[in-house]
Structures are given as C-alpha cells and as structure tokens.
Amino acid sequence: MTKQIRQLDRVVIRFAGDSGDGMQLTGDRFTSETAQLGNDISTLPNFPAEIRAPAGTLPGVSSFQVHFADYDILTPGDAPNVLVAMNPAALKANLADLPRGADIIVNTDEFTKRNLAKVGYQVSPLDDDTLAGYAVHPVALTTMTIGALADQDVSKKDAERAKNMFALGLLSWMYSRPYESTLRFLERKFAARPELVAANVAAFRAGWNFGETTEDFAVRYEVKPAKMPPGTYRNITGNAALSLGLVAAGVRSGLPVFLGAYPITPASDILHELSKHKRFGVLTMQAEDEIAAVGAALGASYGGSLGVTTTSGPGVALKSETISLAVALELPLVIVDVQRAGPSTGMPTKTEQADLNLALYGRHGEAPVAVIAPKSPADCFYAALEAARIALTYRTPVILLSDNYVANGSEPWLLPDVESLPDLRVEFATAPNGEDGTTFLPYLRDPETLARPWAIPGTPGLEHRIGGLEKADKTGDISYDPANHDFMVRTRSARIETIPVPDVEVEDPDGDARVLVLGWGSTYGPIGAACRGLRQRGLSIAQAHLRHLAPMPANLGAVLRAYDRVVIPEMNLGQLAHVIRAKYLVDAIGYNQVRGLPFTAAELETMLEEVLKNV
C-alpha cells in the first residue's frame, strides 16, 4: 500500500526492555543508522543497577534513548515521542516519562498474567484505560519473529532473541533510516555463526516489511540531515572519545602511553578501547586492584611514559595516597574519574557529579592537583588532550572528571586535523643542571612553569631520590626542615594556581542579561537547551561553562560579579556553588538533584524562569 510520508524536525525514541532483550545494541544500531544519514544526535543509555535483576522486573529494565534532529541539539531529549516496550516492566518503568499522544509500540507476547503480576498490574494496561491518550501499537514481536525465522536453521531460543532486530527493522522503516550498515554489522558480529547472521538479517527485514505492509502504521517519517560544518564525522561515545584523546596525546608528545586500570563501572570501556591501540605505543595493564593500577601508572611516568589511570569515585578514594605521592614527586599523571552515583558502591550504572570535592580536596596534606571536566561526549577527546598537556608541561597529576552521562552518551564528532592538535613534546633532562656543571638538582624549577626537570632513570649523572618523604628545594634530599616544608607546599600550590587556562566565555546574546547560569561538566547540554528555550520566548539570560575547575579561569570573578544573580545547576548537593561562594564571595544560587539521571531542559527552564521573575 502507498503510505503517507511526513517530515519532522526532531524525534526522541526510547527502546526499553529486559536487560537480556538487547536494547543497548538496538539503540546503538539505530543511532549508527541515524548518524550515517547526517542528523545531529544525542543519546542516553540507561542500564540496570543490578547485575542480574530477575527477568521481567522493574529493577531489570534497560533502556536506550536517542534524540535526532535536522538542527543542532544539546540533549538526549526530555521525553520520548516513541516508546518501544518489550514487556510490562518496560512499559511501567517508562510510562510516566511519555507526553500524551506519544506512540507506544508494545510486544504483546510478553503481556502474560505472570509478567503482569511481576510489576503489579492486576489487569493488562492494554485492556483498560491506562494507555488512553497514547497512540498504542500492539505488535506480537516474539511470535512474528519466530514465524519469520521458521525456515532458518536456528533454535527457538535464538529465534526469540532476534526480536530486537525485528523491532529495529520496524523503527528503521518508520523513520526512513538507511539499514545497510546494520546488515554489515550483523555479518561481522556473528561471523563465526553464519546461521545467526541469516536469522538476525531475516528478523530485521521482517520488521521492515511489517512496517511497509501493516495498516497499523499508516505514516512513515523523515528527518532531514542537519546543517553541520563540513568534514568527516563519526558517532562517538564519551569513553571512546576520551580514549582516542589519550592516544592522540601519546602521538603528539612522542611518549608511550601507559594505562594502569582496574575494571570499574562506568570507566572500563576506556581500558577496553585503549587495549586496541598498541600500534600507537599504548600499553594497558589490568591490575589486581585500584592501588596497584595507579602505582603502576605513576611508575610508568617516572620511567618517561605518559602515565594514566582510569576509575570511578570509589577507585579515586583508593588511589588518593598514590596521587599525593605524585604531587610530592612532581611527576605527570592523568587520573580519569568517570563519576557515578554514590556513596560507596552507590548506583554504579547511574550518573552524578558528586566527586568534585573529592577531586579538589581528597588527599592527605596540602596536595593540589589540576582538575578539568569535559562538557559532552565529543569534548572528552579535547579534554583528554588538555589533561595530558597540563600534566606534561607542569609535572603534576591532573584529574579528568567525566561522568556516566557523558561517558556512555554519544554524539557526532568532527574528526580533527591531526596537525592542528597541540604539540605536547617534552624535553627530558639529559645533563647536570647545577652551577658546578656536575651536580643534578631534581627540584631546580623552570621559572615560568615552576616544573622540575623530568629525568629518565638510568641517565648517567642524573641519579636522584624518589619517595614520599618531603624533599629539599633544588637538591631533592630528604628534609624535615619546617621552613623548607612550608616553601615546598606553597610552591606546589603556586604551580597549580598559576597554570594559564583560557578565560571563561559568556554566552549573552542580548548583552543585557541580569542572571548568569554557570555550569560544569555534563550539565552543559541541559543548561544550553534551557537557555535557548528562554531566549526563544524573549527572555534574556546569560550562560557560562567551566572546563577548568582547578585552577579556575582568571576572569571568572569579574564575570560572576557582572550579574545580579548566579545560578549553578549541579547533579550533587551544591559542591561547585560552595567553592564559588568561598572563593569569590558571590551568593550563588544552587539548583541540585541527585537522582542518578541528568537534568531535563524543561525543569531547568522552569526553574530559571522563576529566578528571572524575582530579579
């Protein structure tokens, strides 16, 4: 039949099901198809916090949300236009997020009495008025998939597992996605089992053909490519971008990159990705624990490599003594903290920004380090380069504060010209530097950077002490002298505080805003979307975002004092707001939540509108 094609400017789709239903794979493939078409994209994977929650229960629901548009977008979307619910638990867990009129595609095969009872439904929501006001599309996904694979050489269990490909085929048809890349992906993924390649391809095509022939879907949609700067793009997650940034740092510095890591959610993907890049001089080691991982990374830095360790908040706590040792030794070290909800084990698959105080202050003694935070998945590449630049130039540990939202979300990334990336080459000490021409002074500092020489162990004539005891200025000998300790502590602090970082930029299109919204890290997208919405309604508001959190930009104080109100949204209980109040004596207004989810643009827009009314 001939079906109507309707143009849309944006769509938000959420795939939801049991953790074994392949929702992350389905969402990832739909995102890849969308990226190939040239839409702007932002995604939000949402994983169960329990490793093996009982099937069909609310704790076991896994979802993947993708927002795509024909213009630049900043967030994965506040509310889905389409929900694909593979079972009653997926429907119940996500129904409250749907606006009235949204499309709901449900796998009716899973709406059995037993599955309904697991989530507290006395009566199927498909049979009462629970879904009144929504466009409900009942589809027997499991039955139709098994029927489509009846002539395939696969078991019933494997046929049932292919129902996510049926759903992907249907949604790919519904939104006019190119599917050739998905077919190639299936060929690669199941290359060792040709029967699974054939089954999954058949399920995908069956879903596509169902959309083409059924009367339940009378409209097909198109979203045109977004207008973006010319160049070569790829869809990338924050963890992948951060990994490639570390690879680039190694290439641009000419140093080997050593990663010492212990697997921890949500940072493990960095270890997996970097292990693929040995040809670029990257060496990865999966240590027996967090302490061994950071110790090996610091040892690698002492030996002339770019030492890196990756972890989440619990791991940073364990690594704190060795990070303090790196401060005392004044060696480069990059510590990646992909933040998750805490405390303790907390909610390991959920996002939070609550490690800022830990990054700024979580060490023994006066042990300052540089701290930077990427604002988006693609920005993780450049944040990793910047962390490496500061670590190598100023011989200091640098904490890179990503979070689960940025790490697992994805967006288009414009591949840079390698030659345009910063030159990170390092000059190692090769000869004595004392006035007598024969003595090596390991703590004789560069007058501009306050960095000490970096001497490779084994270089003749450059022998020097290492260890955690306080060092004497210049000579590096063990020292208990009170005046020397005071001098060394103040010098290490000054080295961090005087690192030149770019001024904070303010987005104030009208130039007359009285309220400034200040953000850091992954709040960039929701804040930007909220401010965009307010401006489209004729309201004037300014926005600024911090990448460098230690040291902070030199102009930040003047920027803050130029506005009547400063609002700081954070996914914590106000950690940056407390720092801003203490450092700049500005009565910043904190807007805080710790729900394990990012802010929505709508809630920030509503809150900011109230602030504007009361200025």
For Cα atoms 512, 516, 517, give the angle at the middle one, nearest 5 degrees: 140
Assigned token pair, 573: 């209980």
Q: For the residues 304-328, what does the mean pLDDT come to?
A: 98
Using DSSP, state whether 480 is helix, strand or coil: coil
Please give the C-alpha separations between residue 357 and each of 211, 413, 522, 582, in angstroms, as whole numbers.
51, 30, 16, 13
- Residue 366 burial (10 A CB sphere; 0-12, 13-18, 19+): middle
Question: What local confidence, expressed as pLDDT, does residue 407 receive?
Answer: 98
Assigned token pair, 278: 């040995």
Specify the residue for token string 């079972």: 87
CA-CA-CA-CA dihedral for 455, 456, 461, 465, to nearest 10: 70
User: 3-state DSSP: the chain helix, strand, coil percent, rounded to 5?
Assistant: 40, 20, 40
Q: Measured between alpha carbons, how far is 439 from 462 in angstroms, rounded to an integer?
A: 8
From the candidate CATH numbers 3.50.50.60, 3.40.50.1860, 3.40.50.970, 3.30.559.10, the one assigned to the domain spanning 234-420:
3.40.50.970
> At a CB cut-off of 8 Å and minimum separation 6, what does 283 contact?
256, 257, 258, 259, 300, 305
Please give the C-alpha separations between residue 288 and each of 89, 516, 517, 582, in angstroms, as whole numbers.
37, 46, 43, 40
Q: Measured between alpha carbons, how far is 336 from 384 in angstroms, rounded to an integer?
A: 9
- Residue 315 near residue 264, CB atoms below 8 Å: yes
**Radius of gyration for the alpha carbons in the chain, expressed in angstroms and rounded:** 27
Half-sphere exposure of 405 (CA within 13 A, CB side): 26
What is the DSSP secondary-structure string of 457-478?
TT-TT-----SSSPBPTBT--B
Q: Measured between alpha carbons, how far is 537 from 612 in angstroms, rounded to an integer?
A: 13
Q: Measured between alpha carbons, how far is 375 from 402 in angstroms, rounded to an integer?
A: 8
DSSP designation for 170: H
Looking at residue 470, its amino acid is E
Half-sphere exposure of 508 (CA within 13 A, CB side): 16
Looking at residue 578, its amino acid is H
Looking at residue 225, its amino acid is P
Q: Measured between alpha carbons, how far is 27 from 45 in angstroms, rounded to an integer?
A: 8
Please give the C-alpha separations between residue 414 and each of 56, 284, 289, in angstroms, as whole numbers.
40, 27, 36
Q: What are phi and psi of 574, to 5 degrees?
A: 110, 35
For residue 14, what are the β-bridge partners? 65, 83
- Residue 391 near residue 332, CB atoms below 8 Å: yes
Q: Measured between alpha carbons, how far is 214 from 212 in angstroms, rounded to an integer?
A: 6
- pLDDT tens track for 80-123: 999 999 999 999 999 999 999 999 999 999 999 999 999 999 99
- Residue 378 near residue 243, CB atoms below 8 Å: no
Pairing state of beta strands 397-403 and 306-311?
unpaired
Q: Could you tell me the pLDDT band of residue 53, with boundaries at 50, 70 and 90?
A: confident
Q: For the residues 47-65, what does the mean pLDDT come to?
A: 90
Specify the residue for token string 């939801």: 16
Q: Measured between alpha carbons, how far is 69 from 35 in angstroms, rounded to an integer?
A: 10
- pLDDT tens track for 500-558: 999 999 999 999 999 999 999 999 999 999 999 999 999 999 999 999 999 999 999 99
| CATH 3.40.50.920 given to domain 506-613 | yes
- Residue 537 burial (10 A CB sphere; 0-12, 13-18, 19+): exposed
The sign one gets for the Cα dihedral 98, 104, 108, 110 is: negative
- Residue 175 near residue 15, CB atoms below 8 Å: no
- Residue 586 near residue 566, CB atoms below 8 Å: yes
Fold agreement between 4-223 and 234-420: no
Of 13, 72, 9, nearest to 40 by C-alpha is: 72
DSSP designation for 405: H
Q: Measured between alpha carbons, how far is 422 from 403 in angstroms, rounded to an integer?
A: 25
Secondary structure, 3-state, 519-536: EEHHHHHHHHHHHHHHHH
Half-sphere exposure of 218 (CA within 13 A, CB side): 2
Q: For the residues 124-147, what does the mean pLDDT come to?
A: 96
What is the DSSP secondary-structure string of 79-110?
S-SEEEESSHHHHHHHGGGPPTT-EEEEEGGG
- Residue 402 near residue 238, CB atoms below 8 Å: yes
Residue 49 has pLDDT above 90, yes or no: no
Residue 316 has pLDDT above 90, yes or no: yes
- pLDDT tens track for 357-401: 999 999 999 999 999 999 999 999 999 999 999 999 999 999 999
Q: What are phi and psi of 593, to 5 degrees?
A: -150, 145
Q: Measured between alpha carbons, how far is 402 from 384 in angstroms, rounded to an integer?
A: 10
Q: Could you tell me the pLDDT band of residue 50, with boundaries at 50, 70 and 90?
A: confident
Specify the residue for token string 């694909």: 84
- pLDDT tens track for 445-463: 999 999 999 999 999 999 9
- pLDDT tens track for 262-288: 999 999 999 999 999 999 999 999 999
Please give the C-alpha separations between residue 2 and each of 109, 293, 296, in angstroms, as whole numbers.
29, 61, 64
Q: For the residues 230-251, what does the mean pLDDT come to?
A: 97
Residue 19 has pLDDT above 90, yes or no: no
Q: Could you tell me the pLDDT band of residue 51, with boundaries at 50, 70 and 90?
A: confident
Question: What local confidence, expressed as pLDDT, does residue 1 receive?
Answer: 62
Least confident residue range of 8-17, 44-53, 194-203, 410-419: 44-53
The domain defined by 4-223 folds into: Pyruvate-ferredoxin Oxidoreductase; domain 3 (3.40.920)
Q: Measured between alpha carbons, how far is 445 from 591 in angstroms, rounded to an integer?
A: 43
Q: Measured between alpha carbons, how far is 505 from 401 in angstroms, rounded to an integer?
A: 20
The mean pLDDT of the chain is 96
The sign one gets for the Cα dihedral 28, 247, 272, 523 is: negative
Q: Measured between alpha carbons, how far is 99 from 95 in angstroms, rounded to an integer?
A: 9
Report pTM. 0.95
Q: Measured between alpha carbons, how far is 214 from 292 in angstroms, rounded to an integer?
A: 59
Domain borders along the chain are: 4-223, 234-420, 427-500, 506-613
- Residue 548 near residue 571, CB atoms below 8 Å: no
Q: For the residues 333-343, what does the mean pLDDT come to?
A: 98
Cβ neighbours of 62 (radius 10 Å): 24
Residue 497 has pLDDT above 70, yes or no: yes
Percent of the chain with pLDDT over 70: 100
Using DSSP, state whether 24 is helix, strand or coil: helix
